Chain A
Amino acid sequence: MNVALKREELPKGEQGFLARFEGLRGRLPGDRAVRDAAAAAFREAGLPTLRDEAWKYTNLRQVAETSFSEPLTEFADCAPLLARLPALDGSRLVFMDGRFRPDLSTVPAHARVATFAEQPDFGALARPDRHPLVALNTMLAEDGVIVEVPAGVDAGLLQLISLAADAHGRPVAFHPRHAIRLAPDARLVLLEMSVGEGGYLHNPVTEIEVGEGATLLHVRLQDEGRVCRTEIHARLTGPHGIVHLNGAQLLGGRQHSDFTTVVAHDAPHCASRQTVKNVLAGRSRGVFQGRIEVARVAQKTDGYQMNQALLLSPEAEVDSKPELEIFADDVKCSHGATVGELDPEQLFYLRTRGIPEPEARSILVRAFLAEALDLIDNEPVRDVLDRLVESWWEKQAA
């Protein structure tokens, strides 16, 4: 007899997500069939465990056992969170608990912007049937942003800001869905900044498409809440496209942050670059999983990945998992990882110049992270990093 094995008792967290989907089902934007398929996939697969290869490093047990509350976005005071980020000129799209806040946003002049809530668009790169957290996102995504830069247009610097807070001490979860598309010869610098307070699950999925000759520079700066899993799926669709996916994450306490990227080279002569920097204090854990897929046609692909971590505590941990899947025979792909502590000699040098130890440490942390921002030639952007490190540092010292 052939009986399909049913997962009998779902963990509390999974039940909660499914119940939330049932409750919202009629009101969620977008194709209901896509949602239902994602829900079925999620019900079937459940939250991944450490036994799943892609989840070896991220233990979601605490998520599985948590009952998440509705975000209290309407009542949340964004000002203190927003104040952690200095005001930069130019356009910015602000989200609070995963919901777009037009009152805080300035839409870019040279790109087409729509919200997911108004124009739901699931894209085709992230696969709910393969990735349980993509399934969760696809099932419950309520908002997000779709940015399209027309052919030949340089859209300049766009900030994508995510603010988040728990619901008066109770954990919340949100699953924004973003899409960034660059038409041929378009250019965009996307500075994504996430800051938050308290216990929440931030589970964004971003799809990126870069057309022929187009360039996307994406830098993600993060000082976040309890658990964050960021999944980015990027695809280079035409020759000579360039995509940079850099990240600088600051982690402390018991925070967990997982940055997972898949870059698909589907055309020849394209370049992808990823420089991911982690600073970890307390008992935090950082994960970077970067996958590069090079299709048979994608000759002369130039792919590069570097994951570097600075451990400020013996109990912090970082994991790095590069994956290369290459079907073309004339490509250049490399990856590397380093883990280190603050250099005592550098620290001593700074202190002999009268700089107190905490300040000396903070200078070295900023210097370490700065490389992730090197590709953005913009002085105010570097100030953003200074501010983020400063506020993070105060939190660690408290």
Chain B
Amino acid sequence: MLEIRGLTATVDGKEILRGIDLTVPTGEVHAIMGPNGSGKSTLSYVLAGREGYEVTGGSATFDGRDLLSLEPEERAALGLFLAFQYPVELPGVGNANFLRTALNATRRARGESELDAVQFLKLARAETKRLSMPDDMLKRNVNVGFSGGEKKRNEVLQMALLRPRLAILDETDSGLDIDALKIVADGVNAQRGPDFSALVITHYQRLLEHIVPDRVHVLANGRIIRSGGPELAHELEAKGYAGMVAEAA
């Protein structure tokens, strides 16, 4: 499970996270909601290990391991996955090659045997079908020329293949129409089980209709100001962020 205690972090010398406390037990899906600039994306980048995000205090552990001292690839090997808000384009890198390299690196790290091209393609085709992705998305360059919805589906495809134990979904709903949103949500729900946890970061309650969380946390000004059950998302929808921030103050 993920355990965050008093986490503070700066970006370009500016304090963005001001003491986050959060526990996501194994098997649970938690949502983090918050207005723009509240620190949602910073939290996901700090957990994934992005350069330029400086942790100034507190801790984050995953199954008791200190996450913050690990390289991004080591965190991935432990089972952490970040679905990017803005998936990165990789011109010149074929999607199938990229996915197989990532999968085999992960399997290696877990002490599992690597998949050859044939085994991999069989697996990848099954997943693309489930996500209603056209087959040629495997042949194209990673995220190059993909629509917003295709990019997000490609993130979920990576998650489905890598089978993380903790997925952080950073505004995976942004830029999706309702059909794509359902497909993406189904992809996440398919992973749910006793060994899978997720941190769903979103601005809107809409996604949480499809991925129903066990807990909802409201992030504002770099702190979690409220936590509650799924009904908290509805309350937030009614009051708006401003109302809730004012209440908490």
Contact = CB atoms under 8 A, between A and B. Distances in A.
A370 B92 CA distance: 6
Contacts of A371: 92
Nearest to B82: A352
A386 B93 CA distance: 12
A103 interface: no
A370 B84 CA distance: 26
A54 interface: no
Nearest to A382: B94
Interface string B40-70: 0000000011110000000000000000000
B19 to A, nearest CB: 25
B72 interface: yes
Interface stretch (B5-13, B100-108, B187-195): B100-108
Interface in B85-133: 87-88, 90-93, 98, 101-102, 105-106, 109
A344 B82 CA distance: 16
A226 B75 CA distance: 41
B73 interface: yes
B123 to A, nearest CB: 16
A359 interface: yes
Given A348-B51, A351-B73, A363 B93 contact: yes
A119 interface: no
B169 interface: no
B202 interface: no
A353 interface: yes
Interface in A315-365: 344-346, 348-357, 359-360, 363-364
A208 to B, nearest CB: 27
A355 B84 CA distance: 16
A356 B109 CA distance: 10
Contacts of A345: 88
Contacts of B50: 348
Given A344-B51, A348-B50, A348-B51, A354 B88 contact: no
A353 B90 contact: no
A368 interface: yes
B241 interface: no
A366 B105 contact: no
Contact of A351 (B71, B81, B90): B71
A350 B84 CA distance: 12
A354 B105 contact: yes
A367 B93 contact: yes
Contacts of A352: 48-49, 72-73, 75-76, 81-82
Contacts of A353: 76, 98, 102, 105-106, 158, 162
Contact of B101 (A348, A363, A368): A363
A84 to B, nearest CB: 21
Contact of B90 (A344, A357, A359, A367): A367
Contacts of A370: 92
A354 B102 contact: yes
A345 B109 CA distance: 23
Nearest to A360: B73
Chain B interface size, under 10 / 10 to 19 / 20 to 34 / 35 or more: 20 to 34
B137 interface: no
B105 A357 contact: no
A105 to B, nearest CB: 32
A351 B72 contact: yes
A313 B49 CA distance: 23
Interface in A354-395: 354-357, 359-360, 363-364, 366-368, 370-371
Contact of B72 (A346, A348, A359): A348
B178 to A, nearest CB: 27
A356 B71 CA distance: 9
B77 interface: yes
Contacts of B106: 353-354
A351 B109 CA distance: 13
Given A351-B72, A352-B48, A353-B158, A367 B105 contact: no
A393 B84 CA distance: 29
Contacts of B49: 351-352
A366 B94 CA distance: 11
A355 B76 CA distance: 9
A355 B93 CA distance: 14
Pick from A349, A352, A354 the residue with the most CB of B within 10 Å. A354
B73 A356 contact: yes
8 contacts: A346-B90, A351-B76, A353-B102, A355-B101, A355-B102, A359-B105, A366-B93, A367-B90
Given A349-B84, A354-B73, 17 more contacts: A348-B48, A349-B88, A350-B90, A350-B102, A352-B73, A354-B76, A354-B77, A354-B102, A354-B105, A355-B73, A355-B102, A357-B73, A359-B105, A360-B73, A363-B93, A363-B101, A367-B93
